[in-house]
Structures are given as C-alpha cells and as structure tokens.
C-alpha cells in the first residue's frame, strides 16, 4: 500500500513540475510579477498575434495582450514587465524570428536615458514600422519582371543552347565576371588613390585654364574700361602696346595691332 501511495505522489509531483514548466518556461506566465500596459498604433498587424513576445533590443520584456482594429489601422496593447524602463524615444518594429516564424514587437532606442514610458502611454504610428507583406513583395516582383524583355531572354537562351557547349559558355561568363571582380578588388586602394589624384589634377587644370587667357582677350577687356589717360599713364600705355604686339614686331615703330583695344590708346 505504501508503494502505491509513493507512486501516486510521484506522478502528482511530476505533473505539477510539468505544468509549472509549461506555464512559466514556455507560456511566460508570471502570476506574481507586475506589469504596465502600452498602446502601439500600427498601420497593419504585420502578422502579429496576441500572447507573442515584446522585446527591447532583442531581450524579452513582455507580451502582446490584444489587437484592436480601428478602421485606419491596428492598436496593439502590450504588457511590459514592471521592472523594465523603456525610453520614450524608442521606436517599435514588428519583426519575425524567420520568414516562416512567429512575429514579435521589438523596441529600439538610441539611448537608455529618460524620459521613460509609463502605464497607458501611446506610441504613435509614425514611430512604428511593419515588415513588407508577401502581397507587397509579389507586387514589386511583378513590376521587376515586367521590365524584362522576353525576346532578349529568348535570345540569350538560344545563344547558350546552340550546342552542347552552352553550359560551358555560361560557366566561362561567370568565371570571367568573378576574375574581373577579383582583379578590381586587388587594386582597389590604387584605384581610389588614382581617382582622388585625378580630381586634384583636373581642378588645377580648370584654374589654369581660367587664368591663362590669351592677350587679345585681356586687351579686349581693357578696352571696355573707361579711364582717363594722363601723362602719368603714358608710360603704362606704351607697355600695353608692346604687350599687344606680335612677338616678332617689338620695335619703336608703330606696329600692327593685334587686339581691338589698340585704337583707344593715346
């Protein structure tokens, strides 16, 4: 009889331990822990469901209590552990453990300093983000495929399937691209340095081109300047005449002017 009681007691203890593990370890039930509610405004649910996790920088801090449709979006009410302080500047994103995994809410803040969220605070929609839905992904993929020219794809297929060497041609194309990328990667520092140096050289060339104006252009600019010629400027005008002379015509005789400003000099 005592052995039967011992077996029954063992089964009861095993059942209690199993239930406790399921409630605390798996379902994260905290009967003695305090929490405070927050309301998060979302454009869509993003696959979020009640009782899913709420995290702060990836660490679990609570769970989703309920989801309510508002007509223009979804309000998610979450319960955050009372011992956790969430910065008021935090943004919220609906994330997934994997493409096929369950969703969860993740708080992300740039700093851990206050002010902090309190019970009943509302996080507006402009501070939330949801993942791209499969419908949106398929719509965008359809737009990308619409840009592909079927005739060009058909031509590529014909070029690669002219003979049994078609797969070999494709392999050579891929190998050539890999070799090109590897070569460019090996000379990346030299390429960057050459681009920087060429920028300096081209900038200097532009400056030199602007400064090295031909003499006749300089004389034309001087002819548009209205200034009184006095005896003090006579010597300067002689120098300007010589500047406008052809290199082989410097003499005391009157040269043939080669700029339009010559007639304006005394």
**Nearest in space to 86 (alpha carbons), one of 64, 47, 55, 44:** 55
Question: Other CB atoms closer than 10 Å to residue 163's CB: what's the count?
Answer: 8
Torsion sign, CA atoms 205, 210, 211, 215:
positive
Q: pLDDT digits over 89-98, tens only?
A: 899 999 887 7
- How far is 87 from 26, CA to CA, in rounded Å? 28
Cα separation, 262 vs 241, whole angstroms: 7
Which pTM does this prediction carry? Answer: 0.46
Question: Which residues in the chain show pLDDT less than 50?
Answer: 225-237, 239-240, 242-244, 246-266
Q: How far apart are CA 172 and CA 182, in angstroms?
A: 15
Q: What is the pLDDT of residues 190-213, one digit of tens each?
A: 878 888 888 777 777 666 555 555
């Amino acid at each position: 009889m005592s052995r039967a009681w011992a077996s029954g007691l063992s089964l009861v203890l095993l059942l209690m331990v199993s239930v406790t593990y399921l409630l605390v370890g798996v379902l994260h039930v905290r009967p003695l822990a305090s929490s405070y509610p927050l309301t998060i405004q979302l454009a869509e649910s993003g696959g979020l469901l009640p009782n899913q996790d709420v995290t702060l920088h990836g660490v679990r801090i609570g769970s989703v209590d309920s989801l309510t449709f508002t007509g223009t979006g979804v309000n998610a009410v979450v319960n955050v552990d009372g011992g956790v302080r969430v910065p008021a500047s935090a943004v919220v994103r609906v994330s997934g453990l994997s493409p096929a995994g369950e969703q969860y809410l993740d708080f992300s803040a740039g700093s851990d300093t206050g002010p902090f969220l309190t019970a009943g605070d509302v996080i507006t929609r402009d501070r939330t983000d949801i993942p791209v839905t499969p419908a949106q992904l398929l719509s965008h993929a359809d737009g990308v495929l619409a840009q592909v020219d079927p005739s060009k794809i058909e031509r590529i297929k014909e070029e690669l399937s002219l003979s049994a060497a078609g797969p070999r041609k494709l392999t050579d194309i891929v190998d050539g691209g890999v070799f090109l990328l590897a070569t460019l990667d090996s000379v990346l520092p030299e390429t960057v340095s050459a681009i920087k140096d060429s920028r300096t050289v081209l900038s200097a060339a532009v400056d030199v081109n602007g400064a090295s104006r031909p003499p006749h252009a300089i004389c034309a600019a001087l002819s548009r300047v209205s200034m009184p010629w006095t005896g003090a400027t006579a010597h300067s005008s002689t120098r300007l005449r010589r500047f406008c002379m052809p290199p082989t015509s410097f003499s005391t005789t009157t040269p043939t002017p080669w700029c339009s400003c010559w007639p304006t000099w005394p």
